[in-house]
Amino acid sequence: MLMLVSAAIAQPDTTPTTAPTPSVASAVPAARQAQNVAVLTIEGPINAMTARSIERRLRAAEDAGADAVVIELDTPGGEVGAVLEICNTIKSSSIPNTVAWIRPDAYSGGAIIALACREIVASDPASMGDALPIQIGPGGLQALPEAERQKILSPLIAEVVNSARANGWDEYLVQGLVALNVELWYVENIQTGERLCIDEREYRALFEGEPPRSSPRLNSARPMAEPNTSEAPAEVPTATGEGGPAYTPPTPALAGIAEDVQQALEVPGQRPTLTEADRGEWTLLGYAADGAGPVVLKKSGASDDFEYFGFLSETINTDDELKAFFGATNLTRVDQSWSENLAALMTNPVIRGILIVVFIIALFLEMASPGIALPGAIAALALLGLLAPPALGGLANWWEIAAIAAGMLLIVLEVFVIPGFGLFGVTGVLFVFLGLLGTFVPDQGGRLFPSSPEAQRDLTYGLATLLLAFTTAGVGLWFVSKRIGAVPIFRRYVMTEDDGPSGTLIDAMRPAHGGLLVGQEGTATTALRPAGKAEFGDDLFDVVSDLGVIDAGEPVRIAALDGFRIVVVPASASDDQQHSDQASSPDGDTA
């Protein structure tokens, strides 16, 4: 992809095209003028993989010599952390000429990303807004508790205010896209023509009488609060903490996070605070938003909220129009790669749950019937599918992979070296569970436990996914154990009803002793290395050798029985050998 982008941008486009006329090119502002334009698409839900992809593609555009970057948006939004990461990538790019192309919808996180760009263009029709933080639970969209919403709002408000100050958007209106109770009126300066959204306090300072509250220009996406009908505005404090220019929230509802927002502001404010001294200098254009929900800007034909509120640079529907907008010679699309699309699919919770079920069942089959190899290969591929995409997307940290590896090692030791479902087995399963759970939570910057509300929700969803997957795997194992003997590849490894008292794979692994006695002799039917199978009478049992490897067909004698395993030794072994080995082994069991 890097090479394709470089070639496309560095060399003139030889495809026949209609070059911009001199009048069009000369009309392009100098700050916007560009020869090589890279279009980076964001389509569908935004997640950690989207953020990684945008970073990769933007660096490729920089390396290839692009002098303008277009972020084409058609998205319902997505994860807060990923959205903020994309905004930071755009703002820290060495290419300052950034344009958001809303084509046709930029909802939620998409709207926040659009505001991070220096200019906004849109197709017709188009929509932007509704960036209120929400959570998605089993029942669908859910409103956040107010305390949790405030924690998430602080960085979002700081982000959109910084964008507004840097790019000239209305500082109050952008906050209405992400917060409730932002009630606004739109005014224009009589002398300069400057337009501004104001709150109720400023309205009462500028005009006589009650502010109008009917037919707001911007509709709420999802009404979640009653429109403000108070006769007097509550006092809204101005944040004065260190760390950035003063911040005045447009509504008392944001007063609780004003100091936190203040600390995160980086761009000096340009917005004037209107007082009674400004009375007579401004005229009312209309009621902008009632604050009952997050606002949405719509563009459809003659109705254009984007242009009315100063967000739109131009209406653009095609790539040719986009080239003319920049006066560009070359325009190249840099889409998300197939591997990034695959990684995004593989990090879907449903897909991950299926992989966990496959991993558990395949691992169980491989350990129950060592040597088949096919179940082990399937388990390894499922584990790779569980770990590789999260690692690429910044979800899997080193400690999570280490925990899964350690857990697998402990389980293997429990099954093949020190059989019996004891300390090693339980600890191994716990390590695997915790490692997989950690891959559902984005990188916490070195912190072991999630601290943000979003990370805590990811942890909850991960826990629910794992519990459901483990339960499903348990049910699947029961069915598999009932039918495994019918599969030719497993038939020679699995006990059937004719082989003894146990009729299923799970029963065969259960440490049942039947009527066996210490000292009873039988024959090893598989090599004991040290675990394997031995026949006593007409019945087949899982056993473990206590004196090294015993070859298949060798006579064996039961040396010990406990609640978990049948310990055997070669039938020719003397009592002195047996007792000597048990005395030197901390795991030696006696009857």
Which pLDDT does position 458 carry in this prediction?
65
Quick check: 242 pLDDT over 60?
no
For 435-446, what is the mean pLDDT? 66
Which pLDDT does position 320 carry in this prediction?
94
Which pLDDT does position 103 carry in this prediction?
94
For residue range 282-293, list pLDDT tens digits in order.
999 999 999 988
Cα atoms in the 13 Å half-sphere on the side-chain side of 35: 8
Please tell me which residue, 516 or 2, carries the higher pLDDT value.
516
The whole-angstrom separation of Cα 575 and Cα 570 is 11
For residue range 444-502, list pLDDT tens digits in order.
444 444 555 555 666 676 777 788 888 888 787 777 766 655 555 455 444 444 444 44
The whole-angstrom separation of Cα 79 and Cα 100 is 19
For residue range 516-536, list pLDDT tens digits in order.
888 889 999 998 888 888 898
Dihedral Cα 300, 302, 308, 311, nearest 10 deg: 40
pTM given for the model: 0.68
Residue 360: pLDDT band (50, 70, 90) is confident
Q: Rounded mean pLDDT of the chain?
A: 78
Quick check: 161 pLDDT over 90?
yes
SS (H, E, C) 134-147: CEEECCEEECCCHH
The whole-angstrom separation of Cα 391 and Cα 400 is 10
Which pLDDT does position 513 carry in this prediction?
61
Which pLDDT does position 110 carry in this prediction?
96
- Give the whole-number percent of the chain exceeding pLDDT 70: 72
Phi, psi at residue 313, to the nearest 5°? Answer: -90, -40
Look-up: residue for tokens 């795991």?
587
Please tell me which residue, 586 or 570, carries the higher pLDDT value.
570
Most confident of 65-74, 125-134, 340-349: 65-74
For residue range 7-51, list pLDDT tens digits in order.
333 333 433 334 443 334 448 899 899 999 999 999 999 988 899
Give the number of other CB atoms < 10 A from CB of residue 237. 12
CA 71 remoteness from chain centre: 20
The lowest-confidence range among 197-201, 247-251, 281-285, 322-326 is: 247-251
